[in-house]
Chains A and B, each alone.
Chain A
Amino acid sequence: MEISIIENTKADRLTICIEDNGKGMDKEFVEKVKDPFVTTRTSRRVGLGIPLMMAACRRCEGDLVIESEKNAGTRLTAEFKHSHIDRAPIGNMAETMISLILAGSEANRAVDFIYRHIIDERDLCLDTREIRTALGNDISLGEPEVLIWIKDYINEGLKNIRGGVKDENNSGIGRNQKENPGNNQCQKR
């Protein structure tokens, strides 16, 4: 599962791309999946995740695109105008990622995550496959020690790509951003 967040402040766009290599959807289902009354779950007949996300994009001069191929995977791309007054903050990515990674760490349904966050020229990259390799087979990604390391790694990385500030709301992005090019690669551990 690959999660990319691309903040392009020059073009004033925010793009969130979520891609997997899962079972995919057939053509007909992709067409109707944006309908809130279409869902695969059996507990109830509505599914609001995609419609709400699409509404969020559209009220920010953006849109939501879903591409999918049966048995190959799905890609969801959500676009927003970065500075739009209605654009919700990205929120706490470190918390979000560690709860995803914890959920994906269970042996019977293991999911690897690649999280990439790009702000103009700078980027942050986290790949749980690399961490798994470094940890070896006997240590789960769900160990508190590991998850807290990941949390700190993301917070530190985001601070770097935001130009030294911790919080997206104080980052000054789009106002008087300082350039700090040349940190383009995934940081090495």
Chain B
Amino acid sequence: MEEIRKKTLETINVRKDRSGTRIVVGMATCGIAAGARPVLLAIMDEVKKHSLSDVVVAQTGCIGMCRLEPIVEVYRPGEEKVTYVKVNPSKAIRIVNEHVMKGKIVEGYTIGAESK
């Protein structure tokens, strides 16, 4: 715990300088039933693995598109929100690697691609 405290304190100090990315996972009954928990875990694992200091992971309730769950929203500072649908752990890892880390939206997984 002490170790985590120190490490996390360092990353938080870095975070204070920049406004970070927010990753929000839909965790209502519909999201959880569709497998949002493993997705949330995969995202957290990936954030931890790359020691991403400016990323916050949060959860939200049902946004009314239950059939598209698990839904993950990525808010990058200064950019428009991107909504990813029918996410699974491996898609989640790609989203973190490409969109969150490199700023490259994974078009194929977005809600826009789904409705086409």
Interface residues of chain A, those whose CB is within 8 Å of chain B, are 92, 95-96, 98-99, 102-103, 106, 131, 134-136, 138-139, 142-149, 151, 189
Contact = CB atoms under 8 A, between A and B. Distances in A.
B57 A102 contact: yes
Q: Classify the secondary structure of A's interface with B.
A: helix
B12 A139 contact: yes
Contact of B8 (A96, A98, A139, A151): A139
Nearest to A149: B4
Contacts of B12: 138-139
12 contacts: A92-B37, A102-B40, A131-B1, A134-B1, A134-B2, A135-B8, A139-B8, A144-B43, A144-B57, A145-B4, A149-B1, A189-B1
A103 B8 contact: no
A57 B83 CA distance: 38
B59 interface: yes
B98 interface: no
Contacts of B41: 95, 98, 151
B95 interface: no
Contacts of B38: 95
A133 to B, nearest CB: 9
B48 interface: yes
Given A134-B2, A135-B4, A149-B4, A99 B44 contact: no
B47 A144 contact: yes
B71 to A, nearest CB: 15
Given A95-B37, A95-B38, A99-B40, A145 B7 contact: yes
Contacts of B2: 134
B107 interface: no
A135 B27 CA distance: 26
Given A139-B5, A149-B1, 15 more contacts: A98-B40, A99-B37, A102-B57, A134-B1, A139-B8, A139-B9, A143-B8, A144-B43, A144-B47, A144-B55, A144-B57, A145-B4, A147-B44, A148-B45, A151-B41
B53 to A, nearest CB: 10
B58 interface: yes
Contacts of A143: 8
